[in-house]
Amino acid sequence: MYKKTYLILIIFFLSFLAKLEAKTWWVGKNESLHSLNQAIQSARAGDEIRVKKGVYFERNLIIDKPLTLIGEGLPVLDGEGKYEIISIKASSVKVIGFHIRNSGISSLKDLAGIKIYDAQDVQIVHNLITNSFFGIYTQYGKNCQIKDNQIVAYGKEEQQSGNGIHCWNSSYMHIEDNVVSGHRDGIYFEFVTQSIIKNNRSFRNLRYGLHFMFSNHDTYISNVFTNNGAGVAVMFSNHVNMFNNTFHQNWGDASYGILLKEISDGKIQGNQFKKNTTGIYLEGVSRVNMSRNTFSSNGWGLKIQASCQDMNIHQNNFINNTFDVSTNGSLVLNNFDGNYWDKYEGYDLNKDHFGDIPFRPVSLFSIILEKNPTTLIMFRSFISALMDKTEKLIPSLTPEQLKDQSPRVQPIPL
Amino acid sequence: MNKIYKHVMVDIIRNRMVLFYTLLLFIVSLSIFSLEDTSSKGILSMLNIILMIVPLVSLIFSTIYMYNSGEFIELLLSQPLKRNTIWWSLFIGLLTALGLAFLLGAGIVILIFETSLLGLMLVLCGLLLSCIFTALALLAAVLTKDKAKGIGLSIMLWLYFTIIFDGIVLFMLFQLSDYPIEKFMIAISMFNPIDLARILILMQLDVSALMGYTGAIFKDFFGTASGISLSFGTLVLWVIIPFMYSLRYFKKKDL
Amino acid sequence: MIITEHLHKRFGSQQVLRDVHITCRPGACIALIGPNGSGKTTLIKSILQMVIPDRGKIIFQGDDITGQCEYRAKIGFMPQMTRYPENMTIGEVISMMMDIRKDQKNRDEELLEQYQLKDIYHKRMGTLSGGMRQKVGACLAFLFQPDVFILDEPTAGLDPLSTEILKQKIIKEKSKGKTTIITSHVLSELDEMISEVIYMHEGQVLFQKSMEDLKLATQEVKLSKMIAKMIA
């Protein structure tokens, strides 16, 4: 009993000592230190460095001990277009409240506004990063938090532009509430696992709003991806969950709300796909559960290639898409059930809210279009409507098996 | 010209068919928009009405009217009036009547339920198609001697523009699928006013789908201000050329 | 004054006018007669330019009418009875005509009153009997005091009283020096009015003669007899 009390007291005392020891350094025009570099060199592990408002040309800041850097009034760290601005090479570093701008551009080294090298528990919060090659770059990071940052670039060509938030070989990352635009890819993951990506907004990036490969067991929640050059691409990953994200206005021939390639065992739920050329393009996808998503005003809601299997597509809303579903083969190994299709013309006599006859979401014209894209010019002509109607009665070219056995007659409230 | 125009107008408006057509358009378009839960589905149904019913009614009505006005035209011809004047008055009279019928019956309903560029495009195309098929009806009427042949020719024209032309184009598309014929297709579409109107509306209606590669080629043309003006210019030519031909024939026609 | 020179017209394979010459002097009242299909109506329509001749020209008061329309202000035309727009009322037809010829202020409404048409202005042309329509046509032809009357079967369907009114009107106008061309099958009605006869057969003018010449040549009094003799 007493021993326990002593122990608590000792711990309390030690931590009090540590608090005493942690010193705060001030950097600013009117402070004793004018240079952040100097402050970092002088500081000891656990110290705090507060930086006053101003513009600092510090070349490359290397943080090799656990420090907390706090900007007051958004001080500017300018990389003069030559340097990587902050390199974090120690764990538990915090960088809060800086405007980091003009990093160097290099085709050999991935220069970034802030780069994390092999570190844990790093926090990068509330920064504004402008005109940088890469925004925030992590390699071998673990349990790092990247939150509330605004990352803006004005890239015009993919080669001249890096990614907004780039993670490589990392795990347990938390990426939240960031805004990324104008980069090559908004958020890029490669070999990143067990991470959460939440509430981010990624728009007007040159290539993908979100791009990840070989990144398993990650969860994406409530992110918004709009107007990116090619939408979102997700490849070679498994156990990926995507909830309540918005994919909006990704326009172009090779642009997709989401491009899913070689994905397995995941959930895509509650997402909104609106005004994309293609809502979701699926190739080699298996065992992914898609439910409660809304596909509205897309050119194509779903493009499911014949290489997909065991997909469970149920309780989604398909509203006002030019084509709801298209496919390239006649083999269908996926299950459609209980979706709402606004093109459904059946009836519900027993009033159980499910139509009494199945719905075939693949129209003949979408099959024709798949083979001969120029026929698009004949779309919505009388003759194409005639062909579609005939096909609905006697399926010949459209896959007989691709049908929703119990289509809903009312949209699912989401 | 306006001294007989107003008499032509009175004569056409008295015709119950125009009233019936206006009412029919009104009831149909109102029920389409109020029955469908989204206005975009209503737009699709309206598109079919504009591309099929409007040309058909304009053609048949105008052809029948021209034949039934044989006596009226003769009466006018015995007066000190130029043939030019008479034909123009009849044409403008029909345009006014059918245009008003469309505008009051469908145009206003469309603009109320779909107040957008798309709605405007639908109404404009509907009006232009009314004019085009009236002009074609005049041509059919002036080229054929008896009523049955005239109406027959009108129906043939309608079939040609709604189905046969598209069938041929579709066939061609499949035959030439290995060649990049998108630009050629744009040119071809100029030869069918219904197709042209349809594509113009398609550009507003299926924006997302048209952002694909092939779509982009069409969009680059039909989506730009110059493309749209060229298209509308072509539609206007579709009114002027058949009418001018009919006028030329009418000037030499024996009554 | 109307002169036609070398008028030719062909409808398809049928030659309806062959080298037609006629001369209509002021004050002449000309009966244009001939069997059915002889080209009478076509000739009249050519003068009105409802039919465009293949060859030849028509001179109206000294001017070639090709491409002209103003000369028709000086013609009162009464078409065959069926040819009126059916869904207009009498009043509308008449007011439309007045509207078209707004500048012709001197109107002759004598027939309009004699036929008492004003009482039935609201009736539609389509509902009228043939005779009633003829009356409307007659009124229209005389309404604007033209120099030339062209009357196509004017008395067909008219009751004897109305026929008499029309005849008196024609005679009255003739005395004012106006030119009249009448086609009719009922030759007996023409006797008292006409001063000249043009006889057409298969698109050709067989003869154009004054009544005096005809009487001299045939020694007959009745027009029908004269014609019969002439053709024989």
Chains in contact with A via at least 3 Cβ–Cβ pairs below 8 Å: B
Kindly state the average pLDDT of the residues A364-389.
86
Is the separation of the CB atoms in A134 and A116 below 8 Å? Answer: no
Buried-exposed string C162-200: b where 16+ CB fall within 10 A, e elsewhere:
bbebbbebbeebbeeebbbbbbbeebebbeebbebbbbb
Distance from CA of B251 to the nearest CA of C (A): 9
H helices of chain B, in order, are 2-14, 16-35, 39-48, 54-68, 70-77, 83-102, 108-113, 117-143, 147-159, 165-175, 182-189, 193-205, 213-222, 225-252
**Which DSSP symbol is given to C30?**
E
Query: Any chain B CB within 8 A of the CB of C71?
Result: yes
Number of domains chain C is built from: 1
Question: Between chain B and chain A, are at least 3 CB pairs below 8 A?
Answer: yes
Cα C225 to the center of its chain, rounded Å: 23
Where do the domains of chain A lie?
A: 22-204, 230-362+399-414
- C75: chain B residues, CB-CB within 8 Å: 78
Indicate the CATH number for domain A22-204: 2.160.20.10
Judged by a CB distance cut-off of 8 A, whether residue B89 touches chain C is no
Q: Is residue C111 part of a domain?
A: no
Average pLDDT for A138-160: 90
What is the per-residue pLDDT for B224?
A: 85
CB contact (8 A) between residue B255 and residue C88: no
C208 in a domain, yes or no? yes
Q: What is the pLDDT of residues A181-197, one digit of tens each?
A: 999 999 999 999 999 99
Q: Do B71 and C49 touch (CB under 8 A)?
A: no
The stretch A306-323 carries a mean pLDDT of: 92
Token representation of residue B189 = 């579409």
- Residue A189 · residue A195 · CB < 8 Å: yes
User: Per residue in C45-82, pLDDT tens?
Assistant: 999 999 999 999 999 998 898 888 889 999 999 988 66
Contact B255 C45 (CB under 8 A): yes
Three-state SS at A241: strand
pLDDT of residue A18: 55
Whether C96 has its CB under 8 Å from any CB of chain B: the answer is: yes
* pLDDT confidence of residue A106: 83
**Per-residue pLDDT averaged across A167-172, rounded?**
95
Cβ separation A322–B44 shorter than 8 A: no
Task: With H, G, I as helix, E, B as strand and everything else as coil, classify residue C173.
Answer: helix
The answer to whether residue C78 sits within a structural domain is yes
- Within a domain: C9: yes
Give the integer Cα–Cα distance in Å for B196 and B163: 14
Across A103-198, the runs of DSSP E, i.e. the strands, are 112-117, 123-125, 128-130, 134-139, 145-147, 150-152, 165-171, 174-176, 179-181, 187-193, 196-198
C232's CB contacts (< 8 A; 6+ apart) are none
In this complex, is the C-beta atom of C103 within 8 Å of any C-beta atom belonging to chain B? no
Touching, B vs C (3+ Cβ pairs under 8 A): yes
C84 touches chain B (CB under 8 A): yes
Rounded to whole angstroms, how far apart are CA atoms C224 and C201? Answer: 16
Contact A147, A118 (CB under 8 A): no
d(CA A381, CA B87): 33
- CA torsion A253-A259-A262-A263 (nearest 10°) is -170
Interface test with B, best of C77, C87, C104 (most B CBs within 10 A): C87
Q: Among C79, C86, C100, select the one facing B74 at the smallest CB separation.
A: C79
The CA distance from B78 to C118, in Å, is 23
Distance CA B72, CA B69 (A): 5
Spatial separation of the C-alpha atoms in residues A65 and B32, rounded to whole Å: 70
pLDDT > 90? residue C232: no
- pLDDT at position C36, please? 86
Confidence band for C85, pLDDT divided at 50, 70 and 90 = confident
Local structure of residue B105 (DSSP, 8 states): I
What pLDDT does B16 receive? 84
Hey, how many other C-beta atoms are within 10 angstroms of the C-beta on A390? 12
Kindly state whether B252 is in contact with chain C, defined as any CB-CB distance less than 8 angstroms: yes
User: Mean pLDDT score of chain A, rounded to an integer?
Assistant: 90
- The set of residues, in sequence order, having a beta carbon less than 8 Å from that of B108 and lying 6+ positions away, is none
- Tell me which of C49, C50, C142 to substitute to probe the interface with B (most B C-beta atoms closer than 10 Å): C50
Average pLDDT over residues A39-55: 92
In this prediction, residue C226 carries a pLDDT of 87
pLDDT at A20: 55
Interface of B with C in 29-88 (CB under 8 A): 68-72, 74-83
Cβ atoms of A403 and A332 closer than 8 Å: no
List the single residue in C72, C85, C100 with the smallest CB-CB distance to B69. Answer: C85
Taking the C-alpha atoms of residue A406 and residue B158, their distance in angstroms, rounded to an integer, is: 40
pTM above threshold 0.90: no
- pLDDT score at C153: 87
DSSP code of A354?
B
For chain B, list the contacting chains (3+ Cβ pairs, <8 Å).
A, C
Chain-chain contact of C79 with B3 (C-beta, under 8 angstroms): no
Angle at A337 between CA A335 and CA A340, to 5 degrees: 135
CB contact under 8 A, B166 and A253: no
State the pLDDT at residue A397: 81
B chain contacts of residue A381, beta-carbon cutoff 8 Å: 51, 166, 195, 198
The verdict on a CB contact (< 8 Å) between A376 and B212 is: yes
Nearest to B4 among C72, C73, C100 (CB): C100
* Average of per-residue pLDDT across A8-33: 74
Nearest to A334 by CA among A296, A297, A285: A285
* Interchain contact B202–A (C-beta under 8 A): yes
Has residue A17 got a pLDDT over 60? no
Handedness of CA B63, B64, B67, B73 (dihedral sign): negative
What is the Cα–Cα distance from A316 to A267, expressed in whole angstroms?
13
| Rounded average pLDDT over C29-45 | 89
* Amino acid A19: pLDDT: 55
Give B35→chain A minimum CA distance, Å: 13
CB-CB under 8 Å, A375 with B199: no
- The answer to whether residue C136 sits within a structural domain is no
Q: How far is CA C35 from CA C8, C101, C205, C231, in A?
A: 19, 35, 12, 12
**Which partners does chain C have (≥3 C-beta pairs < 8 Å)?**
B
Q: Which residue of B has its CA nearest to C97?
A: B79
All residue ranges of chain B with pLDDT < 70 are 1-2, 37-39, 211, 213
Chain C residue with minimal CA distance to B65? C85
DSSP state of C124: B
What is the CATH classification number for the domain harbouring C225?
3.40.50.300
pLDDT beyond 80 at A409:
yes
Tell me which chain B residue has its CA closest to the CA of residue C88: B11
Scan residues 48-107 of B and list those with Cβ closer than 8 Å to A. Answer: 48, 51-52
- The pLDDT confidence band at residue A251, using thresholds 50, 70 and 90, is confident
Is the predicted pLDDT of residue A179 greater than 60, yes or no? yes
Segments in A225-381 forming alpha helices (H): 364-371
